[in-house]
A and B are shown apart, each in its own frame.
Chain A
Amino acid sequence: MQKPHSREDLSYMVEMIGITKRFPGIVANDQISFAVRPGEIHALLGENGAGKSTLMSILTGLYRPDEGEIRLRGQQVHLQSPRDAVQRGIGMVHQHFKLVNSFTVAENILLGLQDGTGEVYQLHEINKKIEACSREYGLQLDPQAKIWQLSVGEQQRAEIIKLLYRGADLLILDEPTAVLTPQEATELYKTLRRMAELGKSVIVISHKLSEVLEHTDAITVLRSGRSVGTVATSGTSEQELTQMMVGRMLCPVLDKANVMPGKPVLTLENVTALGDRGLPALKEVTLTVNGGEILGIAGVAGNGQKELAEVIAGLRAIESGTKWINSVDHTGDTPQAAIHAGVSYIPEDRLGTGLVPNLNAVENILLKMYQKMPGWRINWSQAARDTTAIIKQHDIKIAHLDAPVKMLSGGNLQKLLLGREIFHHPELIVAMYPMRGLDIGAIETIRKLLLEVRAAGKGVLLISEELDELTCMADRIAVFHEGMVMGVVRPQEVTIETIGVMMAGKRMAVAMSGN
């Protein structure tokens, strides 16, 4: 699938060859190669944390790669800074626009131009140029309008014009349609197509499969910091892409005890909840987690997993539907009530939500325990004892109890967090991407801990991106797509391909029969 690159090949706008970028403890990009032709709309597809952002940050001069090279129009370049990248014709539209709200479109465009050269700009000339630019690419926009007066789609246009004005030949758009209405999205792709026709290259970062399939020419899929491959859009399908994204991993030999599922620990019935943007993120979700069972949640990131976890933990309000914990109605729970009901939540954002970076281990252990202490005082000696016990029990490498936990490595952080969450024997653990970013050893430990909870007859809700992971760990898997449950399957009864099809939005019955 990967196209070979030759040094003489001038048919590419940009080539990134063997790019490797390491951060402390993580290899964000591992030998990624990737190339875009002029006139091409190229999608970069991958889960959160797959390495897309890092790769694009390298291309826009924000990071420098540890290994590998970048060629622009066949010439090797060393991008020194974002400004350098802009000057070489690389421009990026970020998810969060970088516009000054109280300025006009023209003034915003002017802003980026000022180079400290003391050059005087003629606003009316700029206006003319902007209008010409808008006409050429079919981007309608009044240069005199103030940014705050514009809709989100128009603001995006302003960002794009800003890049075009600065002479960008390669435009990178980070999740451009996430904030747009479907009409605006169609409009945007028309514009992008027009730019491609005029010889520019466009890279679109996305994880919306249908959109990518409809509007792009080629698709590169990243997974876990590696490039899975590049495919021509015309020759691929949603299923293939899903598989490329979620990947295959060998199922390790797990000491998975035979546990008879007990009574339902958690039951959701027709639960609907809103996402951060105020749109429904969970739609009529019905599912059950039984004691002694791991229920896996499969789905492409951003399909309601986070909202599901937060609804269960009481952090997000339920619009309609019912939530039962141990057969008691807990629909209107506050986070505190959920904790008291025995719900433990391992958030995706470990350091910042699950743990407080600047507090020490004892204080972080206390976070979920202080409310259980009698009276209004903190029992520090008990907290210290419990902390020591947790550290010992899970073999957490920690220099000093007094040191802020941000000094801990990722694996030890997760062990501390999980250790705390299971310390009081919760009824239900909701674990969101608990293995992400960890090394093999830590992954093993976390798996073992979750299986122990299961063996103790408690419920586990495991949200993961790795299908293999889920099929190894989970007793049943609920597949999510756009906030809906596409079906609940037993891993031994279906193939990974079937789950992939369901993740792409087909109901279980359709998926089973279709394959």
Chain B
Amino acid sequence: MKGKWRWEKRETSSKTVTILVPIFSCVVGLLFAGIFIWVSGKNPLLVYGLMVEGALGSAYGISETVVKAIPLMLTGLAVSLAFRMQLWNIGAEGQFYMGAFGATWAALTFPDWPAYLLLPTMLMLGFVAGGIWGLLPAIPRAYFKVNETITTLLMNYIAILWVDYFVFGPWKDPKGMNFPLTAPFSEGALLPAFGTSRIHVGLILALLIAAIFYYVLQYTKWGFEIRVSGESPRAAHYAGMNHKRNILLVMLISGGIAGIAGMTEVSAITQRLQHGISPGYGYTAIIIAWLARLHPLAIVFVSFLFGGLLVGGFSIQTSGFPAATVAMLQGAILFFVVGGEIFTQYRLTWGGKGER
């Protein structure tokens, strides 16, 4: 019998398929990376075990996983809000930097303010600075249909260099021996942490934003408009929705949330602004949003997963595994998850080469 494998479009995307495919993809990614670990003479189960142990095996590990998850969660929420409206905001990295910048400005300008004044100011400025960075590419997008993917991406470089200019220049710590750091923040500019851990109030902020995000999309008129606009801009126009206004608003808020991520990171973790504060949170956020299928509550969960992956990645090194192991593992998982996407829309069938 003559036959061949064929892709067949699924009539409907079944619920189980949409859930199982990413999970299955993760497993395949682990298996795939496991082969490489095994070939290089190490036991993949040992590596994975050590990762989980590092990330979740101790109170400290868990707390650090949470610390890592906070900026991922916030930036993940930021981009997924924009993605919901099919606005491809690749600029969370830059918005993160600008948020950190705005917050730092407040921290350095009003070092004597008490925390109850300074922290809200920093939060607001972080939101505004990040929001403006999101809004700038939204304006040409709304009025001249300029592709926001490119503009938001390019704005990242501007933001990073902008922050570099300040930490290498005007804001350089006079006591810092000319190193690219601002002076340490005053007591009032530091977000409180829980107990002795580094888990800070940013977690509550992130969870709150996730909950609000979920509520807004599900239960408010504006959230409904975002969902419709994302599904079909023509229908949104037809139904009398103000598409342009929504583009501007969504990008403002998306950038603002990424800005809050930047604010919490400088205020709680680095406690000063410095060169290279984000190891690519804004980009990892895109993957997280994708994996979570833009669902705010799923983002919370996936962020913890990624936090664990990153934290666990460093801890396996102490057992003699090179850092590249983790990079490969992360790459493999993402590759399979994104690649596996096709299975949610198509199914592979074996069939004769007949007329359809």
Direct A–B touching, Cβ under 8 Å:
yes
The residues of A with any CB-CB pair to B shorter than 8 Å are 64, 313-315, 334-339, 345, 347, 349, 352-359, 363, 366-368, 370-371, 373, 376-378, 380, 404, 407
Tell me which residues from 216 to 244 in chain B have a Cβ below 8 Å from any Cβ of chain A: 218-224, 227-228, 231-232, 234-235, 237-242
Which residues of A have CB within 8 Å of B227?
Answer: 359, 363
Contact A359 B228 (CB under 8 A): yes
Q: How far is A59 from B327 in the complex, measured between Cα atoms in Å?
A: 51
Q: How far is A353 from B317 in the complex, measured between Cα atoms in Å?
A: 55
Asked, given contacts A64-B355, A353-B232, whether A336 binds B221 with beta carbons under 8 Å apart, the answer is no
Which residues of B have CB within 8 Å of A371?
Answer: 221, 240
Which residues of A have CB within 8 Å of B145?
Answer: none
Contact B239 A368 (CB under 8 A): yes
Contact B240 A370 (CB under 8 A): no
User: Nearest residue in A to B238 (C-beta to C-beta)?
Assistant: A353
Contact A377 B220 (CB under 8 A): yes
User: Does B4 touch A at the CB level, under 8 Å?
Assistant: no
Q: A353-B232, A363-B228, A378-B223 are in contact. List 7 more A-B contacts (CB 8 A).
A: A313-B238, A315-B237, A359-B227, A359-B228, A377-B220, A380-B219, A407-B11
Q: How far is A314 from B237 in the complex, measured between Cα atoms in Å?
A: 10
Which residues of B have CB within 8 Å of A377?
Answer: 219-221
Q: Which of B12, B228, B239 has the most CB of A within 10 A?
A: B239
Q: How far is A250 from B94 in the complex, measured between Cα atoms in Å?
A: 66
Contact B221 A370 (CB under 8 A): yes
Q: Which of B12, B220, B224 contacts A366 (CB 8 A)?
A: B224
Which residues of A have CB within 8 Å of B220?
Answer: 376-378
Tell me which residues from 26 to 58 in chain B have a Cβ below 8 Å from any Cβ of chain A: none
* Nearest CB in chain B: distance from A171 CB, A: 27
Which residues of A have CB within 8 Å of B231?
Answer: 356-359
Contact A335 B221 (CB under 8 A): no
Contact A352 B234 (CB under 8 A): yes
User: Does B356 touch A at the CB level, under 8 Å?
Assistant: yes
Contact B221 A378 (CB under 8 A): yes
Contact B235 A356 (CB under 8 A): yes
* Nearest CB in chain B: distance from A374 CB, A: 10
User: Nearest residue in B to A366 (C-beta to C-beta)?
Assistant: B224
Asked, given contacts A64-B356, A356-B231, A359-B227, whether A315 binds B238 with beta carbons under 8 Å apart, the answer is yes
* Nearest CB in chain B: distance from A329 CB, A: 19
Q: How far is A334 from B224 in the complex, measured between Cα atoms in Å?
A: 19
Contact A335 B235 (CB under 8 A): no
The SS class assigned to the A binding surface is loop
Q: How far is A315 from B220 in the complex, measured between Cα atoms in Å?
A: 25
Q: Which of A339, A357, A367, A377 has the most CB of B within 10 A?
A: A367
The 3 closest A-B pairs by CB, nearest first: A336-B240, A335-B240, A353-B234
Contact B234 A376 (CB under 8 A): no
Q: How far is A354 from B232 in the complex, measured between Cα atoms in Å?
A: 10
Which residues of A have CB within 8 Å of B235?
Answer: 352-356, 367
Q: How far is A377 from B218 in the complex, measured between Cα atoms in Å?
A: 9
User: Nearest residue in B to A345 (C-beta to C-beta)?
Assistant: B238
Q: Which of B221, B239, B242 contacts A373 (CB 8 A)?
A: B221
Q: Which of B227, B231, B232 has the most CB of A within 10 A?
A: B232
Which residues of A have CB within 8 Å of B12?
Answer: 404, 407
What are 12 of the A-B contact pairs (CB < 8 Å)?
A: A315-B237, A335-B238, A335-B240, A336-B241, A337-B240, A347-B238, A355-B235, A357-B232, A367-B228, A377-B221, A378-B221, A378-B223
Which residues of A have CB within 8 Å of B219?
Answer: 377-378, 380
Contact B222 A376 (CB under 8 A): yes
Tell me which residues from 252 to 304 in chain B have a Cβ below 8 Å from any Cβ of chain A: none
* Nearest CB in chain A: distance from B275 CB, A: 38
User: Nearest residue in B to A380 (C-beta to C-beta)?
Assistant: B219
Q: How far is A317 from B237 in the complex, measured between Cα atoms in Å?
A: 13
Q: How far is A207 from B232 in the complex, measured between Cα atoms in Å?
A: 30
Q: How far is A56 from B240 in the complex, measured between Cα atoms in Å?
A: 38
* Nearest CB in chain A: distance from B237 CB, A: 6
Q: How far is A368 from B228 in the complex, measured between Cα atoms in Å?
A: 11
Which residues of A have CB within 8 Å of B224?
Answer: 363, 366, 370, 378
Contact A339 B240 (CB under 8 A): yes
* Nearest CB in chain A: distance from B15 CB, A: 10
Q: How far is A334 from B239 in the complex, measured between Cα atoms in Å?
A: 10
Q: How far is A64 from B355 in the complex, measured between Cα atoms in Å?
A: 7
Which residues of A have CB within 8 Å of B218?
Answer: 378
Tell me which residues from 177 to 203 in chain B have a Cβ below 8 Å from any Cβ of chain A: none
User: Nearest residue in B to A406 (C-beta to C-beta)?
Assistant: B12
User: Nearest residue in A to B12 (C-beta to C-beta)?
Assistant: A407
Which residues of B have CB within 8 Å of A357?
Answer: 231-232
Q: How far is A349 from B356 in the complex, measured between Cα atoms in Å?
A: 27
Contact A338 B240 (CB under 8 A): yes
Which residues of A have CB within 8 Å of B234?
Answer: 349, 352-353
Contact A335 B239 (CB under 8 A): yes
Asked, given contacts A315-B237, A359-B227, A367-B239, whether A352 binds B221 with beta carbons under 8 Å apart, the answer is no
Q: How far is A90 from B221 in the complex, measured between Cα atoms in Å?
A: 53
Which residues of B have CB within 8 Å of A313?
Answer: 238
Q: How far is A356 from B230 in the complex, measured between Cα atoms in Å?
A: 10
User: Nearest residue in A to B234 (C-beta to C-beta)?
Assistant: A353
User: Nearest residue in A to B222 (C-beta to C-beta)?
Assistant: A376
* Nearest CB in chain A: distance from B302 CB, A: 22
User: Nearest residue in A to B355 (C-beta to C-beta)?
Assistant: A64
Q: How far is A367 from B221 in the complex, measured between Cα atoms in Å?
A: 10
* Nearest CB in chain B: distance from A75 CB, A: 20
Q: How far is A356 from B239 in the complex, measured between Cα atoms in Å?
A: 11
* Nearest CB in chain A: distance from B192 CB, A: 33
User: Nearest residue in B to A373 (C-beta to C-beta)?
Assistant: B221
Which residues of B have CB within 8 Å of A363?
Answer: 224, 227-228
Q: How far is A370 from B221 in the complex, measured between Cα atoms in Å?
A: 6
* Nearest CB in chain A: distance from B272 CB, A: 40
The interface bits of chain B over 69-81 (1 if a CB of A lies within 8 angstroms of the residue's CB, else 0) are 0000000000000
User: Nearest residue in A to B356 (C-beta to C-beta)?
Assistant: A64
* Nearest CB in chain B: distance from A375 CB, A: 8
Which residues of B have CB within 8 Å of A404?
Answer: 12
Q: Which of B219, B237, B240, B242 has the most CB of A within 10 A?
A: B240
Which residues of B have CB within 8 Å of A352?
Answer: 232, 234-235
Q: Which of B11, B232, B240 contacts A356 (CB 8 A)?
A: B232
* Nearest CB in chain A: distance from B85 CB, A: 13
* Nearest CB in chain B: distance from A285 CB, A: 21
Which residues of B have CB within 8 Å of A345?
Answer: 238
Which residues of B have CB within 8 Å of A354?
Answer: 235, 238
Q: How far is A353 from B11 in the complex, measured between Cα atoms in Å?
A: 21
User: Nearest residue in B to A336 (C-beta to C-beta)?
Assistant: B240
Q: How far is A418 from B241 in the complex, measured between Cα atoms in Å?
A: 20
Q: How far is A357 from B227 in the complex, measured between Cα atoms in Å?
A: 12
* Nearest CB in chain A: distance from B221 CB, A: 5
The interface bits of chain B over 57-100 (1 if a CB of A lies within 8 angstroms of the residue's CB, else 0) are 00000000000000000000000000000000000000000000
Which residues of B have CB within 8 Å of A407?
Answer: 11-12
* Nearest CB in chain B: distance from A410 CB, A: 16
Q: Which of B219, B220, B238 has the most CB of A within 10 A?
A: B238
User: Nearest residue in A to B243 (C-beta to C-beta)?
Assistant: A335
Which residues of B have CB within 8 Å of A370?
Answer: 221, 224
Q: How far is A130 from B30 in the complex, measured between Cα atoms in Å?
A: 54
